[in-house]
Amino acid sequence: MRIAIAFAVCALCPLIAAGNPIIGEQVYIDFDPPNLTHSVYPAPFEEVEAYVVVDLVNGYTEDFSSIYFRLATTPGTADLPTFTNLVPGAIVEGDWFSGISITTDCVSAVPPLPIGKLSFIYNAIPGDVKIEEHPEHPNLIINCSEEWNVFCVRMHGGVAKEAIEGDCFGSPVEDASWGAIKGLYR
């Protein structure tokens, strides 16, 4: 009987884990907010708009006053890219490809809030729109109480291809045998 109960609990573990939300401040690319469209398949030389969205629904805070990030596109995918701030009254410093900071009065990101838009012409070369670390303040988001937090990237954007996951989903584990693991403690 104990074996049956242990087996049933172990069989349910993946289902329980899959139902848990990712906790923390998240940022992602959405091509059609709020529809969570992380991939787009444009015609060649069509204009594409990729939105940077801040999601604090499962975060430790529900608001922010500053955020720092950088955007990157696969070489050859985007022509004539321009970044537009979507936070009213915000002070924007830097540029999208070398690092940008958006500072504003207290803004709620519950529900998720598009804070910027990268517009470009698709050059018929599939690629990605990626959220990368700001060179001076990596993945930094400051809430309205002036507490510093680090956000994770839920999804990057895929242009004429599937989107790739960010770092919110954990990190891969290296394969090792039990013998190799036990050898570490001898």
Least confident of 5-9, 140-144, 181-185: 5-9
Detail the DSSP E strand segments found in the chain. 26-30, 39-40, 47-55, 63-73, 78-85, 91-95, 99-108, 113-122, 127-132, 140-142, 148-150, 152-153, 157-159
Q: Amino acid identity of 148? A: W
The pLDDT of residue 13 is above 50: no
Residue range 138-164: mean pLDDT, rounded: 92
> pLDDT band at residue 6, thresholds of 50, 70 and 90?
very low
Q: Which domains does the chain have, with CATH numbers?
A: 21-171 (2.60.40.680)
**Would you say 73 and 139 are in contact if contact means Cβ atoms under 8 Å apart?**
no
The pLDDT of residue 161 is above 90: yes
Give the residue carrying structure tokens 């204009």: 47
What is the rounded distance in angstroms from the CA atom of residue 22 to the CA atom of residue 31?
21
* pLDDT score, position 170: 60
Residue range 117-141: mean pLDDT, rounded: 94
**Would you say 37 and 53 are in contact if contact means Cβ atoms under 8 Å apart?**
no
Q: What is the pLDDT of residues 46-93, one digit of tens each?
A: 999 999 999 988 877 888 999 999 999 999 999 999 999 999 889 999
